[in-house]
Amino acid sequence: MSNRGLLRLIALPALVPVLMLWMMMLRAAPVHADTTTTVTEPFPADAFSNVCSTPADEVVVFGGALHETISSSFNPFTGKIHSIWMQHSSDLRGTGISGTPYVVSQTSNVNEELNPSGTSSDTTTFHENVISQGRMPNFTLHTTLHMTFNESQGFTASISDVRTSCP
């Protein structure tokens, strides 16, 4: 056997672990979940104006308990941090200035990404169903906010969508 053939015979088995290591390094970077926290806490008093009432001046002050789940993850290969904050409640209660009792079903989501490049984005969505337990009408409130921030340029995008409806 020639020296060249012998070198191929020896080098090929030695090359396989090197190729396997290289392929493992090229695979998709795993994301490491740092934390997930779930809590139920008191929801402080808040107020809405019932835009569906006539006249549109029925202010509803409500409170109760709110269930929250907060999770975040960190990708060690890219340095990206991703956080999600979800809230929901189906037992918020309040009374309007007319004396009408209300039940409020509320959900909100905050989705935030932080990049080591200095760019971050945040999308927040709120949805409230305000249900009258008396003579005043029901109403809903939906809000979506999206912002993108760049360290060198400040806010580069800001979108908001606020809607109310009278079902």
- Cβ contacts of residue 34 below 8 Å, gap of 6+? 72, 73, 74
Please check whether residue 13 lies inside any domain of the structure.
Answer: no
Q: How far is CA 74 from CA 46, 82, 122, 166, in A?
A: 34, 7, 16, 42
Our count of domains for the chain comes to 1
- pLDDT number for residue 24: 45
Please check whether residue 75 lies inside any domain of the structure.
Answer: yes
- pLDDT number for residue 33: 54
- pLDDT number for residue 101: 94
Instruction: Write the pLDDT tens digit of every residue in 80-121.
Output: 888 888 888 867 899 988 899 999 888 999 889 988 888 889
Instruction: Write the pLDDT tens digit of every residue in 22-54.
Output: 444 444 445 555 778 888 888 777 787 888 888
Domain that holds residue 71: 29-165
pTM: 0.65
